[in-house]
Amino acid sequence: MSSSSSCPLCEIAATVRAKRERRKDARPGELLAAALELFVEKGYAATRAEEVAKRAGVSKGTLFLYFASKEELFKAVVRENISGRFGEWNVEFDHFQGSSADMLRYAVQAWWKHIGSTKASGIIKLMMSEAGNFPELAAFYQLEVIRPGHGLLQRILQRGVDSGEFRAIDQRYGVYTVLAPMLFLATWKSSWAACHDTDMEIDPDQYIAVQIETILNGLVNPAPAGSNAPAK
């Protein structure tokens, strides 16, 4: 047989090797997806590495080839689904052309689309309930999620103050004012919704719109021109 002749067995072997390489490349993502599901379902303490490996279809040893410990796996999940987005959003805001009010609307809507409405919102509930038991994870979450998130919102609020769109307030509490309805919506999705009747369900888009307009405009009607009393 000449060297130029086709070799069916060689072609099959090459195809198998290629599929194996593609599978290997996809493995970290599959492990992160399985870990996210289990962390959200069971919590950090109750999730075992072997469960993650089994759900991803690999051995426990294979998992530890990619992630040295359960703690490192959890950090990778947070970076993949939450903290890894802050750099992208800051770049977007560098080039944002709209008003600061529009920027605030966009920021909250983007958070809901990419985090709040996804399985990643369960990480918020997990940290609320388990951070006190795992100080190392709490410090990590503070550094990579809370501080960058606060910084992003402070940036929007300060932009509005600098442009004259927003009145000057204590930025720390301004950030909490924006965060409060976001955290409520995330915990509603992961927990509280199960405790309420269907007639009390929340439409996330409508909820966000009302909350942002309330933050921007308040609840009190402006007084008519020349009047010292609030409008009724």
* 31 or 188, higher pLDDT: 31
- What integer is the mean pLDDT of 136-154? 96
Please write down the long-range contacts of 28-35, taking CB distance under 8 Å and 24 or more positions apart. 28/66, 30/56, 30/57, 30/58, 31/56, 31/58, 31/63, 31/66, 31/67, 31/73, 32/73, 32/76, 32/77, 32/80, 32/81, 35/73, 35/74, 35/76, 35/77
pLDDT at 164: 95
Please tell me the pTM assigned to this model: 0.81
Task: List the alpha helices (DSSP H) in the chain.
Answer: 8-42, 49-56, 60-66, 70-81, 86-94, 100-111, 121-130, 135-141, 147-163, 171-190, 204-217
CATH of domain 82-219: 1.10.357.10
* Whether pLDDT at 15 is above 60: no
pLDDT tens-digit map of 55-76: 999 999 999 999 999 999 999 9
Q: pLDDT exceeding 90 applies to what percent of the chain?
A: 75
The whole-chain average pLDDT of the chain stands at 86
- What integer is the mean pLDDT of 11-34? 64
CATH of domain 10-74: 1.10.10.60
Burial of residue 12 (CB within 10 Å: 0-12, 13-18, 19+) is exposed
- List the chain domain ranges: 10-74, 82-219
Q: Give the span between the Cα atoms of 63 and 52, in whole angstroms.
A: 8
pLDDT band at 16 (very low <50, low <70, confident <90, very high): very low
What secondary structure letter does DSSP report for 221? Answer: P
- What integer is the mean pLDDT of 166-171? 93
